Amino acid sequence: MIGAVPVVWHLIGKVAEHYRGLWQVPGYHDTLISLSTGVARVAVLVIAFLLLAEVLAIPYEGVIAGLGIGGLAVALAAQPTLQNFLSGLTLYADRPVSVGDFCKFGDQSGTIEHIGMRSTRIRSLDRTIISVPNSDFAGMQIENYAHRDRTRFATTLQLRYETTPDQLRYVLAELRKLLIAHPRVIDEPCRVRFAGFGAYSLDIDVFTYIKTADVADFQAVREDILLSMINIMDDAGAQFAFPPSLEYRATDLPVDDEKRIAAEKRVGDWREAQNLPFPDFSQIDKFALNNTLAYPPEGSAHYRETEPDPDSAEVKATLEKVRWSLPWKKGR
């Protein structure tokens, strides 16, 4: 009997690993498998204890009957364990998170690695393991980033007060064109508005969503948009404002009159043609601009007008060079 317990214990673990392997990506099924494994192992220990007592003729009936007297004390002592177990079942049934999800709980964040009978283990951003009792974790406000379908992009551009109204109109129009034309920006909501007069700047609020849930991909798209915004500011001859704690003279950073005049002329042309894009672009202009911006930008290593021919000599030479640079080709 004593020898059979570890064998069955190990067999339960093997069965659990088999069922975990049925899903390529760990998810909420892993929670049920962990809970079922824990219950099965506890049941094995209880059954083995009762059978062993029967074989050794230990009068366990009296002990079990006596537990009725101290049942209240046992129930109180086991209450946290039972509460954690029931909370684990709640996490499985409600599915606020699954194994592999990145989430924020309380003032911490991390990736769910295991939801067991007693606690949930989370891998933090510092690569440490945080163990939270299921009862506490289920009662927290959990923000699950894995279920996000897009990522919010919001920023405020602060322009100097020397910016003229038509310069400001030109910047607003070009920023709206940029967001409409960018293939990784959603169509709605997509807002660029002059928000007001700041303490030391004219404030422009930009708000939209990027078509990605991946953080690294979002940062790459955001970088591309911000760099394009700098180009728009330069084309308009506008400049970013400095905080009031920094003293500067207007002559220190002179306004580019040539670019200012050019920006104002473009706005004047729009006004004469009755095509001023305020308060917004027309639907025809939006349709013409939609997804016309190249991303990745031209000149990037990822920019290709056509897919490379796998049978070309250049591709074959590159693959051969990479193949012979691998460690096992060098005898290491």
User: Given this model, what pLDDT does residue 289 score?
Assistant: 82
User: pTM for the complete prediction?
Assistant: 0.60
Mean pLDDT of 193-211: 93
Encode pLDDT of 266-306 as tens digits.
888 888 888 888 777 888 888 888 888 888 877 777 765 55
Both tokens assigned to 209: 């969503």
Angstrom CA distances, 326 to 313, 315, 329, stand at 20, 17, 6
Pick the residue with more confidence: 139 or 202? 202
The CATH number that domain 151-289 falls under is: 3.30.70.100
pLDDT category of residue 191 using cuts at 50, 70 and 90: very high
User: Given this model, what pLDDT does residue 225 score?
Assistant: 93
In the predicted structure, residue 245 carries a pLDDT above the cut 70: no
In the predicted structure, residue 330 carries a pLDDT above the cut 50: no
**Stretch (H or E) spanning 191:** strand 191-197
Percent of the chain's residues with pLDDT above 70: 77
User: Given this model, what pLDDT does residue 329 score?
Assistant: 44
Distance from CA of residue 278 to its chain's centroid? Answer: 34
Mean pLDDT of 175-198: 91
The 8-class DSSP code of residue 87 comes to H
pLDDT category of residue 328 using cuts at 50, 70 and 90: very low
User: Given this model, what pLDDT does residue 214 score?
Assistant: 85
Q: How far apart are CA 28 and CA 215, in angstroms?
A: 22
In the predicted structure, residue 8 carries a pLDDT above the cut 80: yes
Mean pLDDT of 54-82: 62
DSSP labels, 90-116: HHHHH-S--TT-EEEETTEEEEEEEE-
Give me the sign of the Cα torsion angle 264, 266, 269, 271: negative
Both tokens assigned to 122: 């989370």
**Three-state secondary-structure class, residue 299:** coil
Mean pLDDT of 236-254: 74
Q: How far apart are CA 56 and CA 274, in angstroms?
A: 100
pLDDT category of residue 332 using cuts at 50, 70 and 90: very low
Encode pLDDT of 25-58 as tens digits.
455 566 667 767 777 887 888 788 778 777 777 6
Per-residue buried b or exposed e for 141-163, using 16+ beta carbons within 10 Å of the residue's own CB:
ebebeeeeeebebeeebbbbeeb
User: Given this model, what pLDDT does residue 18 score?
Assistant: 76
Q: How far apart are CA 168 and CA 296, in angstroms?
A: 28
The count of other CB atoms within 10 Å of the CB of residue 279 is 7
Q: Looking at 49-63, 191-205, 307-321, which range is the least confident one?
A: 307-321
Q: How far apart are CA 230 and CA 248, in angstroms?
A: 21
The count of other CB atoms within 10 Å of the CB of residue 35 is 19
- Quick check: 182 and 290 in contact, CB under 8 A? no
Q: How far apart are CA 178 and CA 272, in angstroms?
A: 23
Q: Which of the given ranges, 13-17, 135-139, 218-222, has the highest pLDDT on average?
A: 218-222
Residue spans of the domains in the chain: they are 4-61+72-146, 151-289
User: Given this model, what pLDDT does residue 309 score?
Assistant: 64
Q: How far apart are CA 118 and CA 86, in angstroms?
A: 9
Q: How far apart are CA 241 and CA 155, in angstroms?
A: 15
pLDDT category of residue 203 using cuts at 50, 70 and 90: very high
Q: Do domains 4-61+72-146 and 151-289 have the same CATH topology?
A: no
Q: Does domain 4-61+72-146 have CATH number 2.30.30.60?
A: yes
Mean pLDDT of 295-323: 67
- Quick check: 241 and 160 in contact, CB under 8 A? yes
